[in-house]
Structure 1
Amino acid sequence: HNGLPGSGTFGLAVQQAALRWVRAEIGAFGGDAHNVTLAGESAGGYSVCAQLASPAAAGLFDRAIIGSGPCTGRPDRSFAPSSVPLSTARATGADFAAKAGCGSARNVMACLRRLDVSRLLAAQDTDQQPAHTTPLLPSDPAAAIAGGRFHTVPVLIGNNHDEGNGWAAGIIQAGNPVTPDTWPDIVAAFFPGPGQAKAIVHEYPVHRTDGGPVFGAVIGDANFACPTARTESHLAAHVHVWGYEFADEHAPPLIPGTPPFPLGAPHASELPYLFDLGGRPRDLTPAQHRLADIMIDYWTRFARTADPNGPSSPPWHRQTVLSLAPDRIVPTRTARSRHHCTFWSALG
């Protein structure tokens, strides 16, 4: 509701309430209220970006981990930005209320609260992002971080080698084959800016059999790999930053079924290496288990000491991106060129 002081940022407010609880109560559980790490992946990564830029989050966390949720992505991209202007959020909210049948109600909020959850879910067909130009988020996190206006805490940040492959596979399986003939129109649907599609098709040509992986590379490079590199550069001008790229080309699939092409290390594929997901077994090879153990050591050591390095793990230098693959954990300086980041920067 437009009149509510937290309108557009209630999700961020809930996260901050949880962080305030941790600060106030974690000591009773043996924890350290001044040693708190805020971590998120995908939409959670965007939330971490927003909290880094939210003045109200000052002092609520001491380190940040951002996985596959870059803070400085394309504002016009098809994938969820880290925030939207308040006017956009209000228009989205009005559209949602209308679809739910409450658009003309005298009290829209009361009408929505009376609806069954199933009807609310049926009406909600868009991603939800926090709104900037609001009390909790005065400016766009992308602009704030690019301008050095964020909480100065150490950051561990990265992306996966093949972020876009899952989306490309799903779009292909939905009946949209990527061939040399269809490729220009598919690109134009995702990148409608003047001249963008032609430049992308030239930079990423599709041949007879490689349409799916090329489509995946475009999605991943434009929306994840290069924005992550840009975010890392902005952060590193002010705080200690450790960058990674998860690169297990045989990562276990997260969803059942046979994809139309090998997915490599797509979006979210690093999560089973770090966490138990919903009690599902971690179906990893011995080499993948070794990688998972080292990744867990890095992440927890960073949370404990603000530095992921330790005596039992390969060294992780701040000036390079650490490539994470089974039995091959090595620094790399080629990630930006491999993902065509100079091209995407020039494209705008």
Structure 2
Amino acid sequence: MSRPFPILALFALASLNLAHAQQPVTVQTEGGAVVGQQSSVRTFLGIPYAAPPVGDLRWKPPQPAAAWNTPRDASKFGGKCPQKVIALFALPGETPGDIQGQEDCLYLNVYAPKGSTSASNLPVMVWIHGGSYITGSSDSYDGTVLAEKNNMLVVTLNYRLGTLGWLSLPALGAEDGGGQSGNYGLMDQQAALKWVKTNIAAFGGDASKVTIAGESAGGMSNCAHLASPQSAGLFRGAIIQSGLCTSPGNSVTLADAQNRNQKYASNLGCKTDDLACLRAAPVDKLLSTKVPGLRPAANLVWSPVYASKLLPLTLREAYGTGQFNRVPVMNGTNHDEGRLFVSVASPDGKPISPVVYWGGTGLTVGAANTVKVLNQYPYRNFGTPALAFATIFTDAVFSCPALRVDAALSKYVPVYAFEFNDPNAVTIVKTPVDLPSLGAHHSSGLAYAFQSKVDGLADFADFTPAQRQLSDAFSAAWVSFIKTGKPASADWKTFDPAQNNVQVFTPDGVEPSVLFSNDHRCPFWLPLDLK
């Protein structure tokens, strides 16, 4: 009498395992069939959206990927783009300074609900990763939970980084007769968005319901897509998380970049017009050669260039005059963005001294503003110079520039401003010795939005019940915007410059606030108009 139970239990267990087992699933794309894996979701990894940018295609606009005749395996990620391992985000087994990745890296991944078909017409989020335009890859972000839980598609992508993605030189501009150089990483992103427009219906997505989303350099990329005529029609909404869109030093013109980079080319041992020499340079040499010049602390060495074919206007000019792709925008920052960068300011792990604090402040705000800022942020009021510097960096580089973007865009499109503020945000990043905690630091909201592990940053499995509740609210706001163009919360109104209203997400709840501007001393910062 006791035998049937274990037999039935084994059958039930086998059925359960079968339900969760990976099963091959095939979808036909414009380039050929891809064979992904299906369990609780459908995943298609390592799909080429452009030709490998190698050899003569190094520093050229992305070219169409070659078609394939036999079904292509889409069960593994494509190679990440060449980059140096950054100490702050090094994973176990990685050594800071090591070079990883390959130039053949223009791949994307699609996460789709299990039952999706070409008739599903589901909304799509295209995720553009951050990493200061020098590091990061699509495989750090798992779209499984977002796709399964919310009946939507998630696309993650790689794009060229560092010198390979953003080098500007007169010879490169003259090569095609169009005067265009640099912004190759941005063109990669546009190529991926065009691939989505053409192919996403086959996976169950609706090409007319694409929202771009990104954090840090990914958020900054989305700011650029708003301003780029070539991005028009490729998305219907944009989520900008911690984008340094109008931050000090990040509106480099094509002319300035070309002038700066000629010395870089010389340091590689090449004449600045010898493109054959430049294209033959080994990747490790490209990544190890420094770009000369002193820049503001918040400036990204490699980034989009303006007054160019792809970006005719700076972001301030484009937004201020309404000459941008007019779609609804969610734009937000984290309450303690700058705390992550204390480790960068003190790479040896020692406490930041007053002298380093004063010097770092000068590099951040410029010599003409240093005394004013130091008087506004005396380090003794913060306990340590490190916390004072982190607060300056947060306010000057992230929070107040975001408020400026909100005000400019809101004259033309619906803008939903937000702030993520978990004072004890889960992170695997080490807290500097002279900070009380990392707080809601730069990148800390990503695991909350994706509701999954984000490599090098945080693991959703470590969340407390209150943090899971915050994650539910934060992620749901993103999802609602992706599906409808606005957050679901009835009390979240569009941004009004007269009120500076920002939706604040904390473990204690979510509510609108008009205190954001004063909290980050924006009445002090905005008149300074840092460049």
TM-score (norm 2): 0.60
Select the structure with the greater relative contact order (CA < 8 A; seq sep ≥ 6): 1
Say whether 1:174 aligns with 2:348. Answer: yes
Residue 218 of structure 1 corresponds to which residue in structure 2?
A: 392
Give the Cα–Cα distance (whole angstroms) in 2 for the partners of residues 120 and 137 of structure 1. Answer: 25
Q: Deviations over 1:194-234 (max 9, x none)?
A: 2x111111111111833211111101100100000110111
Q: Which residue of 2 aligns with 1:43?
A: 217
1:265 is aligned to: 440
Q: Is residue 2:478 matched to residue 1:303?
A: no
How do 1:44-123 residues align onto structure 2 when only pairs under 5 Å count?
A: 44-74=218-248, 76=249, 81=250, 83-103=251-271, 108-123=274-289
- Percent identity, aligned pairs only, is 37
Structure 2 portions without partners, runs of 5+: 1-171, 292-299, 496-500
Write the letter of the residue equivalent to 1:295.
F
- Alignment RMSD (CA, Å): 2.2
> Which structure features the higher share of strand residues?
2
Contact 2:426-2:459 at 8 Å conserved across structures:
no
Letter in 2 for 1:112: L
Alignment partners' CA distance in 2, 1:259 and 1:299: 34
Query: 1 CA distance for matches of 2:305 and 2:244?
Result: 17
1:346 alignment counterpart: 527
Once the two structures are superposed, what CA deviation does each residue of 1:143-179 show, in whole Å capped at 9, x if it has no partner? 1112221111000010000111111243245377545
What amino acid does structure 2 have at the position aligned with 1:281?
Answer: D
Q: How many residues align?
A: 336
What aligned pairs does 1:1-348 form with structure 2 within 5 A after superposition?
A: 1-3=172-174, 4=176, 5=178, 6-74=180-248, 76=249, 81=250, 83-103=251-271, 108-124=274-290, 127-174=301-348, 177-178=351-352, 183-194=357-368, 196-207=369-380, 209-256=383-430, 259-261=433-435, 262-275=437-450, 276-278=453-455, 281-282=459-460, 283-309=462-488, 315-319=491-495, 320-348=501-529
Shift of 1:326: 1.1
For the 8 Å contact 1:290–1:327, the answer to whether it is kept is no
Shift of the 150–202 alpha-carbon distance from structure 1 to 2, 3 Å rule, reads same
Shift of 1:333: 0.4
Q: CA deviation at 1:243?
A: 0.7
Q: Is the 8 A contact 1:64 1:154 kept in 2?
A: yes
Q: Is the 8 A contact 2:343 2:349 kept in 1?
A: no
Unaligned runs of 5+ in 1: none
> Counterpart of 2:206 in 1: which secondary structure?
coil
CA offsets, 1:67-106, max 9 Å, x none?
Answer: 11143323x3xxxx1x4101122123323222222236xx
Deviations 1:273-304 (A, max 9, x none): 12232497322111111111221111111011
8 Å Cα contact 1:97-1:108 kept in structure 2: no
Kept in 1: contact 2:215–2:243 (CA 8 A): yes
SS in 1 for 2:380: coil
TM-score between both structures, scaled by the size of structure 1 = 0.89
Offset from partner CA, 1:20-44 (integer Å, 9 cap, x none): 1111111111211111101111111
Aligned mates of 2:281, 2:403 — CA distance in 1: 43
User: 227-236 or 180-189: which moved more?
Assistant: 180-189
Q: Whose radius of gyration is greater, 1 or 2? A: 2
Aligned equivalents of 1:54 and 1:182: distance in 2?
38
Aligned-partner Cα distance in 2 for 1:186–1:258: 16
